Structure 1
Amino acid sequence: MSEQWSSKLGFILASAGAAIGLGALWRFPYLTGDNGGGAFFLLFILFTLLIGLPLLISEFIIGRGSKREAVSAYERLSKTGAWKWIGRFGVVGCFLLLTFYAVIGGWMLTYVVLSFSGSILEPNGDYEALFGSVIGNPIISILGLALFVFLNVVVLSFGIKNGIERANKYLMPLLFLFLLIIIIRGVTIEGAMEGVRFFLVPDFSKITAAGTLEALGHSFFSLAVGFSCMVTYSSYLGNNQSLPSSAGFISGMNILVSFLAGLAVFPVVFAFGLEPGYGPGLLFVVLPTVFEQMPLGSFFLILFLLLFFFATITSSFSLLEIIISAFTQNKNYRRVNVAAISGIIVILAGIPAALSENLLNDTLLFGKNIFDLTDFIVSNLMLPLGCLFIALFVGYKMNKKTIFAQYELASGSLGKSAHLWFGLIRTLVPIVIVFVFAMQFIM
């Protein structure tokens, strides 16, 4: 291995950054709002601990056990058969995910620029029209996409220690700081406690079968498992770190950030009498409406948008890194060249998604535009299949001695937790994933 994390903290922050992205800060609040609040949050915690955490430990074990990036890892550990294609499947999934994820990142960048120029908030502003004008402008959409990918390329060109690790050491603490500032401001507004109750007091009468499936699916979506990103990250890890402890800490941080995101969003939404179940437009349409009515609203809007941007870009690092590492780890290709070429390809491939809300708005495949279709293929088809492949690989194909040797490194002994985890990854996890995958087509 040519590169390793310089510290345990560096690995933890980078892995947390990969997991704590749009899933925790954008997707989680609107899913929670759509599905009744507190009961959805409780189900999400349960499924994160029983489904997401075992999968995260599995990816860590594959990565450090092979000391290879995602593509080579499965080849080294399986030797024969079709298992080696899991890594390639993950690279393709990350690439497709980046093609529309970077488009959202471009929207975020556009909103950050607009917020600093003071062009967003105005009395009785039509924020739905503003959002429509941003995503409906092909030049803005493509420039935003290109700039977002360029920033990723710049950071990743510096490598693991000087690129990903250094960026996350600054961005992750800022993310928590901004969240806390916004929460303190939000809960002090009159009427905010109604939003706190909505988010934290479970009302199981509001939970539906569809909502339960959403909580199940989001549990592994939010931890960045399924596409072997964490296989690549853990391949840079030394033997002095406990994988179960690291996975537990990252899962805990993900739940904590989801909790903080809920406290940042729902108190202000309820305080101003807005609709918590607005959907994906919650960030771009509802929240500017809130900040417009708050003292120092422009300042807090800038903080909120920077917060979302930090989360978005730290998560995208892992998506591009799995592609870059496939061509640089244990090979002679220069990282900066591979990063630049990969970035250009992602930009070109992302242009159709960037044009889906404007020039290609009428181009539909299976009733969906290119952006929505790519999102559906990645999130509803490839991601659960990737999780299933990883669970079956660790549970039934990978050498048990290697598995338990990696599990107990830096912890001294296996204990009951190892056998509990292995039992979950062999039984409950694949059963639940198959159930989630099947039910989305039945319901």
Structure 2
Amino acid sequence: MNRNREQWSSKWGFVLASAGSAIGIGAIWKLPYIASNAGGGAFFLLFTALTFLVVLPILIGEFIVGRSSQSDAIHSYKVLAPGTYWSWLGKMGVFGSILVLAFYAVVGGWILGYIVKAISGSVSHGNQAQLALQFDLVTANTAIAIAGTGIFLLLNVLVVTQGIRAGIERVSKIILPALFILFIILIIRSLTLPNALAGLHYFLSPDFSKIDSKTIIVILGQAFFSLSVGISLMVTYGSYLNRKTSIPGSSAVVAILSVIISLFVCLAIFPAVFSFGVVPNMGPGILFVILPSIFNQLPFGTFFFIVFLILFFFAALSSSFSLLETATAPFMKRLGGRKLGTWIMGGIIFLLTIPAALSFGIWSHVTIFGLTIFAASDYLASNIILPLGALFTAIFVGFRLPRQLLWDEFTASSRFGKKLFFVWLLLLKYVAPLAIILVFLYATGIIPS
């Protein structure tokens, strides 16, 4: 046990920070158009089932790895499995964290640009075609792309340099409650719009005909993305956790909050877009084209759109804190401590993020397997590294760690008994790995759809 390691100040500080890591762009930006293309309610049912049966058991496992080792993403595996090659799993997690942070930073930069535009009034008029053109111009603008990405990463650095309690935890305690309040307001407003029930019906009526092997891997990737599992974020956060906090109880709360926010997103967006005769299947433009056009038609719409953008920006920040912390923690001692190490790593990540930031402008012609650098980074992280990382985490925790260690960590300060422990272990060792493997076999065509 590393007694000098910083710790969360309370259980709820840890839960809110972990939920903040889970609730961000993955839940708000990607979810509506994924749900729209995956059968609406059918998507949400599968998403919820996969979250609790596949992803939650692995989330618990990652917290156990972090708390029992009291070390960062890479050294946790060296502590728990010395003399083996398991540390590569942590290294893959750090690499995945950098990829996802690149994705977050670029979108965060767009949000910053749109906050400025909304305040200036330049998105408070115009039809969807004009707003779509404006979105293309913003994302293709080199200065906006690089400046926005840089500012987003700078804010991350400023928070993470303050440490776990004074930085990440303190900000998360403000952001998460604010997000819930805003979404409740938006849901109420959305459900009172004309024809809002059509959107609600679309979301609540599952269309399983749209579910195939390809959509299942996307849904599973979204579940991993939404709970930040598979790239050692929760190993890192778990390493700052004391033994007075129940890991299974806290993990369940994080999963429930993630699913609730995902439900809130759908309830806020689907009725609104259907009220104005739009199907939310146009990808990232839903936040930067469809929503502005809807807010423009509502009383005080510009104000609410600005508030939505600001809180969406904060949600992106709360998620990215864990990404920067995971990427930096293994190298802090080598780079001169938390503050200097975070500044150095932040600068390195900024340089690595520039190609993704320029993927919609001067580097739009640069492709990897037919995808832009931005899209390739997102696909590699969400649909390959996260599920693979989760698979090997399940194998490591379930088959490599001693049963007594798992029992001690699972039951510490917990009301969960022996039966639930064995249910969790069964899901972790067999159900979760099998689900991930089957999805990959279907996706690669080895098993026909």
Give the TM-score taking structure 1 as reference length: 0.96
CA shift for structure 1 position 199: 1.4
1:216 aligns with 2:217: no
TM-score (norm 2): 0.95
| Aligned counterparts of 1:118 and 1:435: Cα–Cα separation in 2 | 49
Question: In 2, Cα distance between the equivalents of 1:377 and 1:208?
Answer: 20
In structure 2, the CA distance between the partners of 1:204 and 1:380, relative to structure 1 (3 Å rule), is closer
Moved over 6 A (4+): none
Deviation string 1:249-274 (CA, Å, 9 cap, x unpaired) is: 00000000000010110010010011
Q: Paired residue for 2:423, among 414, 420, 423?
A: 420
Match for residue 391 of structure 1 among 372, 390, 394: 394
Compared with structure 1, are the counterparts of its residues 93 and 332 closer, same or farther at alpha carbon in structure 2 (3 Å cutoff)?
A: closer
User: Any idea what the Cα deviations from partners look like across 1:113-160, whole Å, max 9, x if unmatched?
Assistant: 211221112143511101100011011100000000000000111000
Quote the residue 2:17 is aligned against.
Answer: 14
Shift of the alpha carbon at 1:92?
1.2
Give the match's secondary structure for 1:284.
helix
- 1:292 aligns to 2:299 (yes or no): no
Report deviation, 1:388.
1.0
Among residues 277, 280, 289, which one is paired with 1:276 in the alignment? Answer: 280
Query: Which of 196, 220, 228 is the equivalent residue of 1:192?
Result: 196
1:78 to 2:86 alignment: no
Counterpart amino acid of residue 369 in structure 2: F
Which consecutive unaligned segments of at least 5 residues does structure 1 have? none
Q: 1:116 matched to which residue of 2?
A: 119
Query: 1:198-347 residue pairs with structure 2 within 5 A?
Result: 198-328=202-332, 333-347=336-350
Helix, strand or coil: the match of 1:103? helix
Match of 2:162 in 1: 158
The alpha-carbon deviation at position 327 of structure 1 amounts to 2.1
Alignment partners' CA distance in 1, 2:13 and 2:303: 30
- On the 8 A contact 2:5/2:70 being kept in 1, the answer is no
SS across alignment from 1:24: helix
- Structure 1 residue 417, shift from structure 2 partner: 1.0
How far did 1:194 drift? 1.2
Q: Are the counterparts in 2 of residues 33 and 278 from structure 1 also a CA contact under 8 Å?
A: no
Shift of 1:412: 5.2
Q: For the Cα contact (< 8 Å) 2:96–2:385, is it kept in 1?
A: yes
Aligned partner of 2:366: which letter?
Answer: T
- The residue number in structure 1 matching 2:372 is 369
8 A contact 2:217–2:439 mirrored in 1: yes
Cα distance in 2 between the residues matched to 1:45 and 1:364: 34
AA paired with 1:133? L
What amino acid does structure 1 have at the position aligned with 2:229? V
**Structure-1 separation of matches of 2:210 and 2:384:** 27
The answer as to 2:418 corresponding to 1:438 is no
Which amino acid is 1:221 matched to? Answer: F
Q: Distance in 2 between matches of 1:365 and 1:12?
A: 37
Distance (whole Å) between structure 1 residues aligned to residue 40 and residue 79 of structure 2: 44
Question: Does the aligned pair in 2 maintain the 1:5–1:165 contact within 8 Å?
Answer: yes
> Which whole-Å CA distance do the structure 2 matches of 1:71 and 1:210 have between them?
32
Shift of 1:438: 3.0
Q: Return the offset for 1:323.
A: 1.7
Determine helix, strand or coil for the equivalent of 1:283.
helix
Match of 1:171 in 2: 175
Aligned amino acid, residue 39 of structure 1: A
> Partners of 2:106 and 2:442 in 1: how far apart?
29
Unaligned runs of 5+ in 2: none
Give 1:413 shift: 5.7
CA distance in 1, matches of 2:326, 2:210: 39
Paired amino acid for 1:68? S
- Backbone CA RMSD of aligned residues: 1.5
Q: Is the 8 A contact 2:57 2:428 kept in 1?
A: yes
The letter for the 1-side match of 2:118 is S
State whether residues 63 and 234 of structure 1, in contact with CA within 8 Å, keep that contact through their aligned partners in structure 2. Answer: yes
Does residue 88 in structure 1 map to residue 91 in structure 2? yes
Contact 2:92–2:231 (CA under 8 A) maintained in structure 1: yes
